[in-house]
A and B are shown apart, each in its own frame.
Chain A
């Protein structure tokens, strides 16, 4: 077939080599409602929804809003417990955000939920001007951060941290696991300004429990120490680098993990102090595009502070990502435990 127009047309379709699982079947696209849970891990159900219900017992100012995604942001737990404090705003992110601003003006503390793509892309101007510019205490809590769905770019918020980091006044939080989501939900409720928080929903792994971790808004914390590599990670990539660190240990590579759940304001003093100890390869790890997220924030902070150390980024590419099954995509784009382990080895 030498038909030029046909080959041009065909060239628009990307070639894919899909891995086949052990039983010979190709993996299928994970549903949007799927939880991000690693096999065999302890999980906690709907940590955000239950934390909000618990908070609301003593905080009559807390109200919940969603744009037709209460079930997929765990806000349905709150809606069931407090139906008169729940606002179903319909499939209309702009008015949801504006109305949350209005409720905040009247003294309430609104938690508004949708998917991260819709908050960061569609409702940006409304978050910016109705909420952030006036520093109102609206908490925007968004599911499907980064690459946590196989649906393709329409639902993959690979650019939300870059978008939200650029917004003045806005605090940006990317929790790692169920324990941290519970703690962060309480902390952001107490914070007097606007917050954007990324959310893992459904059955969420419990990872940090074994480390005795306690979330503190705005603080980066060492989860484990190590002399060869310093991972500086956020969100669920902290799970991944903790697992990778265990594997690398068996190869005699000693990895520390500095967990940075608050992307903005960035805990520059802790990051520069840890990186500045020297002698370690600094590797940022995030469930986000390599452009404008944690990695670039950390890189710039180190340069401003005059901390000159070897520096690498583990992040998603600056591209619209493929559709597919999450394990496939996480391998393909380098954020699975296997991929992180191999990548770090290649850098040493």
Chain B
């Protein structure tokens, strides 16, 4: 079903390329949500190079799986993935966050090919995903709707309205991906608003729920496969425990990682470390 080229490249190599693109974009701005991008790169590699059906040269192809990024600040990560996928040209890396760029700091549908929705105001994505999943069913379109949301976004009540609605409408074409890195603006997510064991509460609402190490490529692949193949008429969620700044150890160790500080000389060092671990194709 893969519609894109270079399908023989390993997922580990894809994740490396996504991290590298993200670091290059972070360097352009001298800052950014690089911690999230590095952390979620493996999940995005599986999304764009294993799970999703799309055409790189036709981002609005009716048969595509829809990938909705509610967390607008993760745009740097999604741009990095879409550049690797050939949806966006790598020549635009140097425009990230600049005036007139198609890649603004926060993801917006009107700016970027392949960006399905305008994220940023948290708690919107899953509800829009519910509507798109309903719409696809109306059209007998077998595509999936994926919504990538964050652990912090689980604090928004609207997310839980959507959680209930997806069950009510038996949306087996909806797959939520929660990037659980336990970091939000003011600190740990689990210290801000009571977070019960995630799988249990999603199951309690009636979802097919899985929790995986989001930086374990094989585990993520298996979870996506299981989510798509699950036979029951229920929505699916994959809770991905990820490590902020994954792949660049000296950044992983920083305490405040929601908006990670990277000194000018550190970008080259981060790239160097990443390149040393470059996987084979």
Q: Give the residue among B118, B158, B164 with the most A Cβ atoms within 10 A.
A: B158
- Neighbouring B residues of A133 by C-beta, 8 Å: 108, 110, 118
Please, which residue of chain B has its CB at the minimum distance from the CB of A99? B131
Contact indicator B110/A98 (Cβ below 8 Å) = no
Q: A95-B165, A99-B165 are in contact. Are A130 and B124 (CB under 8 A)?
A: yes
Please, which residue of chain B has its CB at the minimum distance from the CB of A88? B168
Please pick, from B126, B132, B161, the residue contacting A103 in the complex, using a CB distance under 8 A.
B132
- A89 in the interface, Cβ–Cβ < 8 Å? yes
Contact indicator B129/A102 (Cβ below 8 Å) = yes
Which residues in chain B, 113-156, are within 8 Å of chain A measured between CB atoms? 116-118, 120-121, 123-124, 126-136, 138-139
The number of residue pairs between A and B whose CB atoms lie closer than 8 Å in the complex comes to: 97
Contact indicator B118/A129 (Cβ below 8 Å) = yes
Which residues in chain A, 65-103, are within 8 Å of chain B measured between CB atoms? 87, 89-90, 92, 94-95, 97-103
User: How many Å lie between the Cα of A57 and that of B108 in the bound state?
Assistant: 35
- A126 in the interface, Cβ–Cβ < 8 Å? yes
User: How many Å lie between the Cα of A107 and that of B133 in the bound state?
Assistant: 12
Contact indicator B135/A129 (Cβ below 8 Å) = no
Q: Give the residue among B108, B162, B165 with the most A Cβ atoms within 10 A.
A: B165
Contact indicator A98/B139 (Cβ below 8 Å) = no
Contact indicator A126/B135 (Cβ below 8 Å) = no
Contact indicator B124/A98 (Cβ below 8 Å) = yes
Q: What distance in Å separates the Cβ of A144 from its nearest Cβ neighbour in chain B?
A: 22
User: How many Å lie between the Cα of A133 and that of B117 in the bound state?
Assistant: 10
User: How many Å lie between the Cα of A121 and that of B169 in the bound state?
Assistant: 26
Contact indicator B138/A106 (Cβ below 8 Å) = yes
Contact indicator B123/A103 (Cβ below 8 Å) = no
Contact indicator B118/A102 (Cβ below 8 Å) = no
User: How many Å lie between the Cα of A98 and that of B135 in the bound state?
Assistant: 12
Contact indicator B118/A134 (Cβ below 8 Å) = yes
User: How many Å lie between the Cα of A134 and that of B108 in the bound state?
Assistant: 9
- Neighbouring B residues of A108 by C-beta, 8 Å: 135, 138
Contact indicator B158/A102 (Cβ below 8 Å) = no
- Neighbouring B residues of A98 by C-beta, 8 Å: 124, 126-128, 130-131, 158, 162
User: How many Å lie between the Cα of A94 and that of B124 in the bound state?
Assistant: 8
Contact digits for A129-143, partner B, Cβ 8 Å, 1 yes 0 no: 110011000000000
Contact indicator B168/A100 (Cβ below 8 Å) = no
Chain A at the B interface: SS class: helix
Which residues in chain A, 104-153, are within 8 Å of chain B measured between CB atoms? 104-108, 110, 125-126, 129-130, 133-134
Number of residues in B with C-beta < 8 Å to the partner?
Answer: 31
User: How many Å lie between the Cα of A239 and that of B133 in the bound state?
Assistant: 43
Contact indicator A126/B131 (Cβ below 8 Å) = no
Please, which residue of chain B has its CB at the minimum distance from the CB of A98? B127
- Neighbouring A residues of B161 by C-beta, 8 Å: 90, 92, 94-95
User: How many Å lie between the Cα of A63 and that of B139 in the bound state?
Assistant: 13
- Neighbouring A residues of B131 by C-beta, 8 Å: 98-106, 110
- Neighbouring A residues of B116 by C-beta, 8 Å: 105
Q: What distance in Å separates the Cβ of A238 from its nearest Cβ neighbour in chain B?
A: 35
- Neighbouring B residues of A101 by C-beta, 8 Å: 127-128, 131
Q: What distance in Å separates the Cβ of A194 from its nearest Cβ neighbour in chain B?
A: 14
- B157 in the interface, Cβ–Cβ < 8 Å? yes
- B109 in the interface, Cβ–Cβ < 8 Å? yes
Contact indicator B158/A106 (Cβ below 8 Å) = no
Contact indicator B130/A125 (Cβ below 8 Å) = no
Which residues in chain A, 274-314, are within 8 Å of chain B measured between CB atoms? none
Contact indicator A126/B127 (Cβ below 8 Å) = yes
Task: Point out residues on A near B: beta carbons under 8 Å.
Answer: 63, 87, 89-90, 92, 94-95, 97-108, 110, 125-126, 129-130, 133-134
Q: 7 additional contacts, CB 8 Å, given A94-B158, A95-B161, A134-B117?
A: A90-B164, A98-B131, A102-B135, A103-B131, A103-B135, A107-B135, A126-B127
Q: List 8 A-B contacts (CB under 8 A).
A: A90-B164, A95-B127, A95-B161, A98-B131, A99-B130, A103-B138, A106-B136, A130-B124
